[in-house]
Amino acid sequence: MKILGIETSCDETAAAVVEDGTRILANEIASQVAIHARYGGVVPEVASRQHTLAIIPVIERAMNRAPVTWPDLGGVAVTFGPGLAGSLLVGTNVAKAIALAHNLPLTGVNHLEGHLYANWLANGTIVFPVLCLIVSGGHSDLVLVKDHGDYALLGHTRDDAAGEAFDKAARILGLGYPGGPAIERAATQGEASIELPRAWLKGSHDFSFSGVKTALLRLVEAGKVSNKDDAAASFQEAVVDVLVTKTVAAAREHRVQQILLAGGVASNRRLRQSLEQNSPITVLIPEPVLCTDNAAMIAACGYFHFKTGKTDGLDLDVVPSLRLA
Ligand code: KG4
Ligand code: ZN
């Protein structure tokens, strides 16, 4: 079954066609990064206007590349939350219009569940139960996945999400936007020689990244950072250390067979490498382009929704603060 996926939750306008939840036929992304870079972050009103301009050409491009026509499709899957309300509205309304016009079943996908399903597009067979670390701009969630659609949230961030912390640290160091890739680039030139605090929150699977960010800010304010690359490497090391140590601990405690990684921060090479090195069990990580926002992951997740009869009507509404479990 071929599914059209649509993703417009933040600043990427994306459409994809995926077969049987695992095989990508097309994966198109129109990025707004260059536009928002001028403002140092995503401007919600600008984002929704850009989605309106880009969404139809992006869907056409994905369908031409696949190649598929409307009768080839088995359904439409669209992100309905969490995300920016105005941005989500563009994708959901286009998806509803397509479903109505072409008589296709519709399913709303939780963006975080979508990130998780990028793992079904990666190599390797997934054996439940698995543990997934979802690290994006808005979330740092440790999720126990018992089966398709059966999730337990073991831990989440109590303040800044991992990606948000990377973005703020890059701003503090004047490394530009988006912060994650900027920190990673600078870190490759530097040494993790500056000591920064790690919030372990012992006895809990929760995360906290505001302390390490503030510690970095205080050092910069005190004029104690002479080398930005070293500061970037030290910051990246502190965040990766906490993410990896706590993920491995949760995997041991819940006796899972595999660890999955997902979300924009999962494209960070140091995080990927450290998790693979320190995990006693198999680690599956989608390729970087499937970690950051895309519609292939939404189509993959949508396939499993349809398989289990999870469809939505044309009254599907956006839920900007949607949670996973
Ligand atoms: O999943 P995503 O594309 O969008 C959200 O759902 O939020 O994640 C975006 C976040 C941003 O905070 C960005 O700085 C971070 O992922 N990110 C990275 C890297 N690439 C993107 N963080 C660290 N290293 C990277 N290479
Ligand atoms: Zn995302």
Residue whose Cα lies nearest atom 23 of ligand 1: it is 180
Best residue for ligand 1 mutational test, from 12, 173, 292, 294 (most atoms within 8 Å of Cβ):
292
3-class secondary-structure state, position 101: helix
Q: Do 294 and 236 share a structural domain?
A: no
The pairing of strands 73-81 and 2-7 is parallel
Domain membership of residue 325 (yes or no) is: no
The alpha carbon of 309 and the centre of ligand 1 are apart by a number of angstroms equal to: 32
Q: What is the DSSP string of 46-92?
A: HHHHHHHHHHHHHHHHHHHHTT--GGGEEEEEEEEESS-HHHHHHHH
- In a domain, residue 42? The reply is yes
Q: Residue 153: give the domain boundaries.
A: 126-285
Q: pLDDT tens-digit profile of 118-136? A: 999 987 899 999 999 999 9
CATH number of the domain enclosing 279: 3.30.420.40
Closest-CA residue, ligand 1 atom 22, reads 180
Ligand nearest to the CA of 169: 1
Render each residue's pLDDT in the chain as its tens digit; 325 residues. 999 999 999 999 999 999 999 999 999 999 999 999 999 899 999 999 999 999 999 999 999 999 999 999 999 999 999 999 999 999 999 999 999 999 999 999 999 999 999 999 987 899 999 999 999 999 999 999 999 999 999 999 999 999 999 999 999 999 998 999 999 999 999 999 999 999 999 999 999 999 999 999 999 999 999 999 999 999 999 999 999 999 999 999 999 999 999 999 999 999 999 999 999 999 999 999 999 999 999 999 999 999 999 999 999 999 999 999 7
Asked whether residue 207 is domain-assigned, the answer is yes
Predicted confidence (pLDDT) per residue in 50-106, tens digit: 999 999 999 999 999 999 999 999 999 999 999 999 999 999 999 999 999 999 999
Looking at the structure, do residues 131 and 277 belong to the same domain, yes or no?
yes
Atom of ligand 1 nearest to the CA of 167: 14
